[in-house]
Each structure stands twice: as structure tokens, then as C-alpha cells.
Amino acid sequence: MYEKLYIRIAAAGNFDEKFLLEFRRELQSLLWDNLGINATCFFSSSNSSIVPIYKIPKNAYTSHIGKYNTQSLFIFGKERREESLKQFGNLDVLLKVLVLVDFEIYRKGFAGTLFGEAEVGGDIAIVSTAPLENHFKSRFLIKERTLKEALHELGHTIGLDHCKIKGCAMNLSKDIYDIDEKKKTYCKECLNRLFGGYS
Ligand SMILES: [Zn+2]
């Protein structure tokens, strides 16, 4: 299906660099090891080790909700994507942006806890680590959950819909317990959809 996938990770909020570096390394290796997707995950450019951590985008905070709207985060993601396309010389590259934030997000018309958002076939995936925190304060657990949610939202961008199979990363999570039930991979059916097409 894919010759090469580029994923720019654009982190906004108060992340620490070590967490982001580990996350990037693991995301890239599990895309390849578990899914056979040849992806390069990077932060600023594909040949730089600089990890920019962005401020919360302006206009993202919606005071009457007390959370940050994903609409602004999509715009933020699109801006990062444009930057990267320029760096690539606007070549015909398959480039997705994973917007990673550590504050609570919301989508208009959705009242529950939002872990992330992406459009099927879109270019931008959003994941928030805020609802993935745990009372153990375990970095490992947050990272595991973040990886699963990143696979879920990135899965939408590469054409996958929600999946009914328990354990599949494309299964819809209502709460963190659902996320913990999921594996860091897609089920066979989803993989077939990705690599075998829809027909
Ligand atoms: Zn599946």
C-alpha cells in the first residue's frame, strides 16, 4: 500500500523531551514491526533531532467549556504540515501530522471524554494525553495508552474506520479501561483493508 509514510509529531503543552523521544522511537518501530508500515516519525524535520514543544495554539481555549477545541488544533496541525511540505520541496510525499497535546480537548457536539480526533483519509491526527493520566503516575502506562491512541487516530488518516473487534487499535474507546484492553496493533481485518484495498 505505502511506499513510505512520514509522520510529523507536533507536541504542544508541557511535555518533557525524554517522553517525546521515547514515544517517537516506539511509534516508529511498532508501525514497522507490528504493521509493516515503513514510516519515518520526526519532530521538526526528518534529518533533525531538535524537539520543538509548541505553545498551546491561540484561540484553542473555549472558556465556557473549560477545554481546548480540536478545530484550532486541526489548523495548527495543517500549518505544521505546510512547513514540512516546504522542507520536502513540496514533493509528492505521504505526510501525516500527529498533534500531541497534554490538555483536555473537546469537539463541538460531543460531551464525553475525548482522547483524540481525526478524519478518515485526512492528514491530521490529534491525541491528548490529559485523560490518559493515572493515579499511579506511571509514565509507562501513559506512554502505552498514548501509543494506542496514536495508532487509532493515525489509522483513520490512512483510511481505517472504527473496528468492532476487541483488542484492535481501531476499536472505539469509551474510557481508559477500553484503551488498556487494546493491543498496539490493528486486527487482521483492518490490516487487510490497509494492504489489500476495499474490494
Ligand atoms: Zn480492526
- C-alpha dihedral over 121, 180, 9, 69, to 10 degrees? 70
Domain ranges of the chain: 5-161
Mean pLDDT throughout 64-76?
95
Residue entry with cell 533533525 = 48
**Centre of ligand 1 from the C-alpha of residue 14, in Å:** 32
User: Distance between CA 128 and CA 12 in Å, rounded?
Assistant: 10
Cell of 93: 510525499
The phi and psi torsions of 60 (rounded to 5 degrees) equal: -80, -30
Per-residue confidence (pLDDT) for residue 196, from 0 to 100: 81
Cell numbers describing residue 39: 514510516
Q: How far is CA 48 from the centre of its chain?
A: 20
Residue 32 CA, ligand 1 centroid: distance in Å: 17
Ion ligand 1: residue ranges with CB closer than 5 A? 163, 165, 168, 170, 187, 190
Question: For the domain bounded by 5-161, which CATH number is listed?
Answer: 3.40.390.10
| Cα 163 from chain centre | 17
Q: 88 C-alpha to center of ligand 1: Å?
A: 32
> How remote is the CA of residue 71 from the centroid of ligand 1, in Å?
27
Q: For residues 184 and 112, which has the higher predicted lDDT (pLDDT)?
A: 184
**Residue 15 · residue 101 · CB < 8 Å:** no
- What is the whole-number distance in angstroms between the Cα of residue 125 and the centre of ligand 1? 18
Pairwise CA distance, residues 63 & 161, whole Å: 32
The pLDDT value recorded for residue 134 is 76
Write the pLDDT tens digit of every residue in 98-151.
999 999 999 988 888 999 999 999 999 999 999 998 776 788 999 999 999 999
Q: How far apart are CA 194 and CA 136, in angstroms?
A: 36
Q: Which residues are identified as catalytic?
A: 153
CB half-sphere exposure, 10, CA atoms < 13 A = 27
Q: pTM value?
A: 0.94
Alpha-carbon Rg for the chain, nearest whole angstrom, is: 16
pLDDT given for residue 50 in this prediction: 86
